[in-house]
């Protein structure tokens, strides 16, 4: 039987899947991908024709699958992660896939981010958000791909950062057969822990205004840390290459009152539970923490997930009680299982990345998970399928004072992506050719031009200046064992 055309996909019958629309998109010469709703992300240019499939899994898991023309399909699928609490389609990720000849898929995980109280009284929505929505996307996208091209994908990849990184972690841990290669950025180990620190920040802002620190105050903390730590890597260039080389007390930053100094130490440090137990790690020197002034936003997680009450008084928040309880309430919100045996056994490859200057998710949390896997599986066995990259000076997923473009997040594309400067290409070579990735060269793009390059080292190696050469060029830096 002949494969269906794009328009005929609406008649495709797959259990619990309804294809609402299938449209041919033919860039002339460029078609701009939509922005998520509410507007976010990057309006990415698409240069290749494709079939845009819009549909629904079960009763409310929205998804899109973008299918390159059969003659241009590489035989690969790319699943794309969301961010935060999901509730939107990652259009720039779909564009990345199609531009590279990959069938690309994205899901809102079963709700809209604009919906108030989207999870109250709807436990299935929390399950879909936590892990199930992305899994169903992978399974059903493969079925649609098989119908359209006449065969299933040869290789399946996933890429996401922040909340999308958390989704990648759940795929590795819960659904090891979904993907052959997974790139998960800034995932940490608990979106609940992140929200706990934000809630503490917002409660200080609202109820202890004398102790509140603005974004400008936090930038001063980051500047003071950079001044104290910058030279530790051998070069004074405004970037702390490896914060492990320096200790810094954020309360000593110039211009802070005594109350603000206490706030700096509290919010920079770990989130503590009962008996001083560390529930979530603190930040490393150089971070300009991203404060929140409205306790309603981070409090929403605990109000909805834990108490099921949108009127819950955030002043009742108790980290020692509420953080573990909220993590237990939503499967997938804290993907900490170090047993990745099933994923490794079927030949899966896993890459994590996390910017040292991440102002939202402490980099230490991602490092802690990597080391947990090493302890559980053995260092050599873990290293054979799992790599961790820590770009210097990069903020949350992208941005910051250092180079942030290395094909790991869905931002502006490099003019010539290859396995030496693009993590997705490196992953493809690792999965399909057995070429183990080494250091990756990251670039900073300004108006589409490369203005700085620097290596991104694999953990635990450390970035050091060679002692000569332009500090803005990657060849002036080396990845060396930590001292």
Quick check: pTM over 0.95? yes
Domains, the chain, ranges and CATH? 7-190+333-480 (3.40.50.1820), 192-329 (no CATH)
Contacts of 153 (CB under 8 A, 6+ apart): 75, 76, 77, 103, 142, 145
What does the pLDDT read at residue 39? 66
With bands split at pLDDT 50, 70 and 90, how would you rate the model's confidence at 277? very high
At 448, the pLDDT band (50, 70, 90 cuts) reads confident
Predicted confidence band of residue 198 (pLDDT cuts 50, 70, 90): very high
Q: What is the pLDDT of residue 1?
A: 58
Which pLDDT score is estimated for 410? 84
Instruction: Kindly state the average pLDDT of the residues 402-417.
Output: 89
Per the CB < 8 A criterion, the answer to whether 60 and 138 are in contact is: no
Q: Which long-range contacts (CB under 8 A, 24 or more apart) does 460-466 make?
A: 462/233, 462/241, 462/242, 462/244, 462/245, 463/233, 463/241, 463/242, 463/392, 464/233, 464/234, 464/241, 464/242, 465/233, 465/234, 465/235, 465/241, 466/234
DSSP states along 290-318: -----THHHHHHIIIIIS--TT--GGG--
Q: Using alpha carbons only, give the angle 30, 185, 463 rounded to the nearest 5 degrees.
A: 105
H-helix or E-strand spanning residue 389: strand 386-389
Contact indicator for 381, 344 with CB cutoff of 8 Å? yes
pLDDT, tens digit (0-9, with 9 covering 90-100), for 204-248: 999 999 999 999 999 999 999 999 999 999 999 999 999 999 999
Name 266's bridge partners: none
Beta bridge partners of 388: 352
Which of 118, 104, 114, 105 is CA-nearest to residue 40? 114
pLDDT tens for residues 105-125? 999 999 998 898 999 989 999
pLDDT at 341 over 80: yes
pLDDT value at residue 192: 93
Measured in whole angstroms, the distance separating CA 263 from the mean position of its chain's CA atoms is 27
Residue 186 pLDDT class (50, 70, 90 cuts): very high
Q: Cα separation of 93 and 79, whole Å?
A: 8
Tokens of 284: 């490393």
3-class state of residue 378 by DSSP: coil
Q: What length does the chain have?
A: 483
Q: What is the pLDDT of residue 483?
A: 74
């Amino acid at each position: 039987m002949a494969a269906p055309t794009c328009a005929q996909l609406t008649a495709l019958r797959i259990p619990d899947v309804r294809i609402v629309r299938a449209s041919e998109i033919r860039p002339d010469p460029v078609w701009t991908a939509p922005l998520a709703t509410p507007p976010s992300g990057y309006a990415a240019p698409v240069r290749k024709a494709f079939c845009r499939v819009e549909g629904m899994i079960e009763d409310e898991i929205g998804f899109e699958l973008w299918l390159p023309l059969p003659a241009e399909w590489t035989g690969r699928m790319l699943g794309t992660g969301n961010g935060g609490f999901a509730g939107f389609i990652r259009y720039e990720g779909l564009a990345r896939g199609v531009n590279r000849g990959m069938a690309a898929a994205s899901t809102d995980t079963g709700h809209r981010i604009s919906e108030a109280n989207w999870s109250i009284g709807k436990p299935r929505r929390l399950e879909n958000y936590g892990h199930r929505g992305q899994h169903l996307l992978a399974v059903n996208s493969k079925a649609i791909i098989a119908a359209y091209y006449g065969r299933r994908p040869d290789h399946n990849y996933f890429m996401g950062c922040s909340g999308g990184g958390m989704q990648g972690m759940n795929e590795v841990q819960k659904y090891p057969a979904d993907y052959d290669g997974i790139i998960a950025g800034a995932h940490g180990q608990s979106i609940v822990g992140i929200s706990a620190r934000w809630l503490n920040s917002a409660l200080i802002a609202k109820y202890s205004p004398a102790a509140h620190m603005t974004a400008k105050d936090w930038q001063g903390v980051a500047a003071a840390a950079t001044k104290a730590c910058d030279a530790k890597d051998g070069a004074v260039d405004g970037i702390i290459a490896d914060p492990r080389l320096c200790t810094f007390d954020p309360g000593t930053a110039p211009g802070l009152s005594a109350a603000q100094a206490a706030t700096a130490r509290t919010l920079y440090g770990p989130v503590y539970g009962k008996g001083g137990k560390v529930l979530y790690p603190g930040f490393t020197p150089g971070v300009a923490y991203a404060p929140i002034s409205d306790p309603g936003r981070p409090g929403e997680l605990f109000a909805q997930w834990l108490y099921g009450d949108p009127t819950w008084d955030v002043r009742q928040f108790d980290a020692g009680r509420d953080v573990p309880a909220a993590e237990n309430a939503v499967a997938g919100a804290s993907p900490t299982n170090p047993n990745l045996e099933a994923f490794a056994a079927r030949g899966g490859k896993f890459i994590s990345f996390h910017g040292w200057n991440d102002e939202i998710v402490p980099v230490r949390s991602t490092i802690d998970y990597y080391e947990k896997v090493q302890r559980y599986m053995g260092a050599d066995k873990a290293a054979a399928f799992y790599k961790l990259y820590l770009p210097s000076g990069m903020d949350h997923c992208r941005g910051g004072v250092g180079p942030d473009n290395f094909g790991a997040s869905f931002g502006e594309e490099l003019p010539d992506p290859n396995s030496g400067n693009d993590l997705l290409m490196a992953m493809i070579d690792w999965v399909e050719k057995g070429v183990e990735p080494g250091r990756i060269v990251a670039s900073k793009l300004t108006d589409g031009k490369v203005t700085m390059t620097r290596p991104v080292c694999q953990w635990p190696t450390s970035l050091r200046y060679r002692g000569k050469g332009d500090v803005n060029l990657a060849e002036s830096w080396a990845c060396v064992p930590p001292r």
